[in-house]
Amino acid sequence: MPERLTSQRRYYMFQCAVGWVVFLGSEKGLTRLSLKPTPEEAMEEAMKDAGQVLDEATMDASWFQPMQRCVESYLEGDQRALDEIVLDLDGTPPFFRAAWAACRGIPSGETRSYAWLAAEAGSPLAVRAAGQAMARNRWPLIIPCHRVIGSDGGLGGYGAGGLRVKAKLLQLEQSFVTAGDLRG
């Protein structure tokens, strides 16, 4: 049975440099970050899990302000800013947790293959499962699934805004890494 949002659930929506973001959160942390080109698409994506109903959640901009600042700081070049956001991983299968942890370890501006991700998650033959873990990632940007590509170098898919957003994020991160190399 789908879990319904309770009065302890919160949401907030804002526009950033790569689209619209909707945050959903619980007392344990962020339960979802939706990133889409339009506010309607972002809200629809945020609400698709478990048949959640928006009017049962509280719009709470102040609760999400620190998270919004983290996202904005990341998009301005602070590649460690998203590390501060606490995720509510309740109900997550162990392999997904392992794949998501490995994904969070991919350095900004770099990419890894689904095969690499499967191996890092402890199951080298589970390449398709690694792909599913990325496809079901509820926290794009924070768990940077845009850094996971096909073994042939192709971008693969990207549910959070499409391949154009994936390419833009990779290009943005690479520009920050290059700028950092020039400064260092």
- Write down all domains in the chain, each with its CATH number in brackets: 10-84 (3.30.160), 94-183 (1.10.10.10)
First to last CA, the chain: 53
What residues act catalytically? 145
Average pLDDT in the chain: 87
What whole-number distance in Å separates Cα of residue 154 and Cα of residue 94? 27
Percentage of the chain beyond pLDDT 70 is 90
78 confidence band (pLDDT: 50, 70, 90):
very high
121 compared with 26, residue with greater pLDDT: 121
Quick: pLDDT tens for 128-164: 999 999 999 999 999 999 999 988 888 888 878 788 8
pTM: 0.86
Beta-carbon contacts of residue 150 (< 8 Å; ≥ 6 apart): 113, 114, 156
Query: What amino acid occupies position 33?
Result: L
Q: Assess whether pLDDT exceeds 70 at residue 169.
A: yes
Rg over CA atoms, the chain: 16
State yes or no: pLDDT of 2 exceeds 60.
Answer: no
The pairing of strands 112-113 and 58-59 is unpaired
**What does the pLDDT look like over 41-74, one tens digit per residue?**
998 888 876 455 555 778 899 999 999 999 999 9
Q: Would you state the pLDDT for residue 176?
A: 85
